[in-house]
Structure 1
Amino acid sequence: MGASAKWERGSVVQDWGLAVVVAVIQLVGSSGANSHQTGVRSLDAFAYLLLVAGPVALGFRRVLPEPVLAVALIAAITYVLRDYGYGPIFLSLVIAFLSAAVTGSRWRTYPVVAIGYLTMVWPLPALLGRDTGAWQVFGLLAWMGVLVAIAEGVRQRRAVVLARTQRAEAAQRDEQAQQARAASEERLAIARELHDVLAHSLSLINVQSSVALELFDRKPQQAAAALATIKTTSKEALTEVHTLLHAIRSGTTVVPEYPEHSGVAEDSSPPPPPPRPAPRAPAPTLEDLDALLERTRATGLDVDTKIIGTPKKLPSVIDVAAARIVQESLTNVVRHAPGATALITLRYTPESVDITVDNTRPTGTVVRSGIGGNGIIGMRERAHALGGALTAGPRPSGGFRVAARLPARSASSATQAAAGKEIGG
């Protein structure tokens, strides 16, 4: 607000300063012009009033451009028709016209030029018996054309500047929207990664703690084994969380600092590259399936695997997604189907890898935590993001099934292969 008010005060001072300068020019110049013209009426009080009217109106040219133009036009026409002669009185009219024409409507401002020519140059002065020379008829017509051209040029320039400003603002809004979308996607990725890291471990801890409480008095050795599993699982989960948080902080808050004075020229060598984010623990993959199942089997869940086809190296993003789907599916079995058995089936084809996780009916008591999870939603989003599909639901024979199909190649690899076929064809 302070800067805006200061700018407005500066504009008012400029307008009234211009009005004073124009008033001095018109009064002094018109007095001299009137004294050197023959057959004209001498200046009187009314003439001086007309000479001052236009400049005074210019003080309001920013807020009332078209009314100011009308006042300046009437003052000039009256001055000429009362036979005070020609002179600098047209200066306020020219300034008022340019001020109104570059910001107002062409239909209301441009006709003023024609009205001024017809009433002050030709033919109205000739009809009133005033001497009108050829230089006035044609010379002033040319100058009026130049005046219109100047106004139109200023209008076009302002339109170009306005269009550039609007494009720059639109580009800035688009950039901000893209940054917001990127931040939202990053938050979603972080949330999904935290869920993948914690859900499996916390589910195992929950199950093992229930087992330890139930067997603490009757079978202390099994309870101790469950507590040992809790200790190992919680330690691994804490390590994974600390590694993930360290990577997030290092990747988003580290800003390189360079010394201002190093004793050499500033451009003698390029600045050092910014530090890379801290390394993270490797994400689980299908190649580590046995290691992935160790902690799950430690809970007492009987898990079998079945592989159909020839296992092959998958793109890392697809391999990690497949392992996460297996991990989350087993987490759901541990959490919601105690006492059940699970079967993991991996089917490799040239175009896809199919993952099926089946579990039987639960034989133990299901503990309701009252907290709903987003595991299936997260798995489905992960599969869809890679161009695959995932379904989950009860089996007709009892139990539950999670079935996912992921492409064997990433989208970029598939595009490159298709392009290679087209070129080769």
Structure 2
Amino acid sequence: MDEQRVRGAGPLRWRQGPSEWHGPDGGPVDGAARLPWRSTLLITVAVLVGSAFAARGQPGRVPLDAGARALLVAGGAMLLWRHRHPVAVAFGTALTTVLYLGAGYPYGPVFVTVGLGCFGAVVAGRRWAAWTALGALWAAHLLVGHWLYRWLPPAHDRAAPWGGEVAVATGIVAVAALSELARTRRERWARERAERARAVRRRADEERLRIARELHDVLAHSISVINVQAGVGLALLDSDPEQARTALTTIKAASKEALGEVRQVLDTLRTPGDAPRTPAPGLDRLPELVEQAASAGLTVELGGRTPRLPPGTDLAAFRIVQEALTNVVRHSGSRHARVLVEHTRGALRLRVDDDGPATGADAGGGGNGLAGMRERAAALGGTIEAGPRPDGGFRVLAVLPSTARAEEEDE
């Protein structure tokens, strides 16, 4: 089923097969401009043939003539515009039916056209038009059958039986009930489709946020190391060329690693189903973080064991430690930090401390770093606490749910 969006303001309505969006007047727009020729032709032919058969059993009524057939064709032809102009079609089909019955022609499938016209009005949201048209038809039928029959054909006609009025009223109520049911179903379908579209957009937004967070964590850490080493290289370029060469070597290694991780993140944007070229980083790479921090002039003490974790938790834990150390390099005057990894039953605790003081901003940073850490933890059902320590410096404490293997807990 294809979908078209309505131009301009107004509620959107949907109908089944072929799919069409309807504007406030109930008419289709854009790709739904084609008229329902086939269904209208079939309905009109069925009404003409059915009326001819019905006339055989009603010898007391006026025989079908050119006028009767013209009214039947006119009522059927109006259904061509039942999606574009449902209000006009509801009243138009009701009028042709009243004229047909007022002329004394036989009862039969003439009520089909007005039923379909009012059905389309209800589905299009014009319930008042459908109910008014059906009520007017019933009132006109009462007048013709119980009062005006004296002056209308056929001659010497008698009042219609009240049982016939009950049948007409039952038919009208049935049309109204079916129309309301169809309208309710289509509105529910429209809500479900809209909800699915919102879910798709939400998943896309979450994926963009995940990729942005990964890129931020990768680039912030590597660029911080590069920035520090570039400053060292510039300062020692003339006085200590060998140390400057070491700084440039560190810059090259850090930039190469950053490019590799950026490429790995962007691999997720390739064709769905493709596997990443390299595994995602985890806590087993903490020694590499310690080496990179050392090349930026930060001494890191690493304590605790690194348990085996699910890939998502492992990546989040690594990025949290990476971002915390990056913030120490960028925002703290301390050249010493401590990382402690503790694993208890069902929980992983990560603690990163530095001795401060802050340089220009809080040691924890004030940008997207802390927000990214909190988002990672919250996505796994964990928490992040970050703030100054009572004895000075800054602490980041992360608690993540963990399903690490029990034997590793017991070691």
**Which category of TM-score, normalised to the shorter sequence, fits these structures?**
0.5 to 0.7
The amino acid that maps onto 1:344 is: V
**Equivalences, count:** 349
Cα distance change, pair 53–281 in 1 and its aligned pair in 2 (3 A): closer
| Amino acid in structure 2 at the alignment position of 1:177 | R
Q: Does 1:341 align with 2:336?
A: yes
For 1:234, the equivalent position in structure 2 comes to 255
Secondary structure in 2 matching 1:391: strand
Change (3 A) 1:336 1:152: same
Does residue 406 of the first structure (1) align with residue 406 of the second (2)?
Answer: no
Q: Which residue of 2 is the match for residue 190 of structure 1?
A: 211
- Aligned 8 A contact 2:280 2:315 in 1: no
CA distance in 2, matches of 1:313, 1:68: 74
Which residue of 2 is the match for residue 222 of structure 1?
243
C-alpha separation between the residues in 1 aligned to 2:326 and 2:61? 102
Report the equivalent of 2:144. 116
* Matching residue's letter, 2:313: I
Contact 1:203 1:331 (8 Å CA) reproduced: yes
Q: CA deviation at 1:212?
A: 0.8
Q: Cα deviations across residues 63-83 of structure 1 (Å, max 9, x unaligned)?
A: 164476457647865x6xxxx
Sequence identity (%) = 32
Deviation at 1:120, TM superposition (A): 5.1
- Of the three residues 341, 353, 358, the one matched with 2:353 is 358
* Paired residue secondary structure (2:318): helix
Whether the 8 Å contact between 1:55 and 1:92 is mirrored in structure 2 is no
Contact 1:212–1:227 (8 Å) recurs in 2 = yes
Q: Aligned partner of 1:183: which letter? A: A
Structure 1 CA distance for aligned equivalents of residues 180 and 307 of structure 2: 62
Three-state SS of the structure 1 residue aligned to 2:270 is helix
Structure 2 CA distance for aligned equivalents of residues 354 and 188 of structure 1: 25
Q: 1:109 to 1:100 in 2, by over 3 A?
A: farther
Structure 2: how far apart are the matches of 1:338 and 1:204? 15
Question: Residues 1-400 of structure 1 correspond to what in structure 2 (within 5 A)?
Answer: 5-7=33-35, 58=75, 63=88, 65-66=90-91, 69=94, 73=98, 77=102, 87-88=105-106, 94=111, 98=115, 102=119, 103=121, 104-105=130-131, 106-119=134-147, 130=156, 132=158, 137-138=160-161, 141-245=162-266, 247-252=267-272, 276-285=274-283, 287-307=284-304, 312-338=307-333, 340-361=335-356, 373-400=367-394
In structure 2, what is the Cα distance between the partners aligned to 1:407 and 1:131? Answer: 87
Aligned counterparts of 2:62 and 2:202: Cα–Cα separation in 1: 75
Aligned residue identity for 1:284: G
Q: Deviations over 1:145-188 (max 9, x none)?
A: 44444444444444343333323222211111111011011111
Equivalent-residue separation in structure 2 for 1:203 and 1:154 (angstroms):
72
Structure 2: 5+ residue stretches without partners: 1-28, 83-87, 122-129, 406-411
| TM-aligned CA distance change 1:333 to 1:130, over 3 Å | same
Write the distance in 2 (CA, Å) between the matches of 1:353 and 1:4.
57
Uncovered stretches (5+) of structure 1, i.e. residues with no partner: 37-47, 80-85, 253-274, 414-425
* Worse-matched range after superposition: 92-101 or 181-190: 92-101
Quick one: distance in 2 between partners of 1:35 and 1:284? 90
| CA–CA distance in structure 1, aligned partners of residues 398 and 78 of structure 2 | 74
Cα pair distance change 1:156/1:227, threshold 3 Å: same
Normalised by the length of structure 2, the TM-score is 0.68
* Partner Cα separation in structure 2 for residue 380 and residue 327 of structure 1: 14
In 1, Cα distance between the equivalents of 2:163 and 2:61?
24
Q: Are the equivalent residues in 1 in contact too, given 2:302–2:338 (CA < 8 A)?
A: yes
Partner of 1:404, secondary structure, is: strand
Higher Rg of the two aligned structures: 1
Q: What amino acid is the match of 1:7?
A: L
2: CA distance, partners of 1:2 / 1:208: 60
- Equivalent residue for 1:268? none
Distance (whole Å) between structure 2 residues aligned to residue 74 and residue 366 of structure 1: 88
Please report how far the alpha carbon of residue 291 of structure 1 lies from its aligned counterpart in structure 2 after TM superposition: 2.8
Normalized against structure 1, the TM-score is what? 0.66
The residue matched to 1:405 in structure 2 has which SS? Answer: strand
C-alpha separation between the residues in 2 aligned to 1:57 and 1:243? 68
Query: Taking structure 1 as reference, are residues 98 and 113 closer, same or farther at Cα in structure 2, changes over 3 Å only?
Result: farther
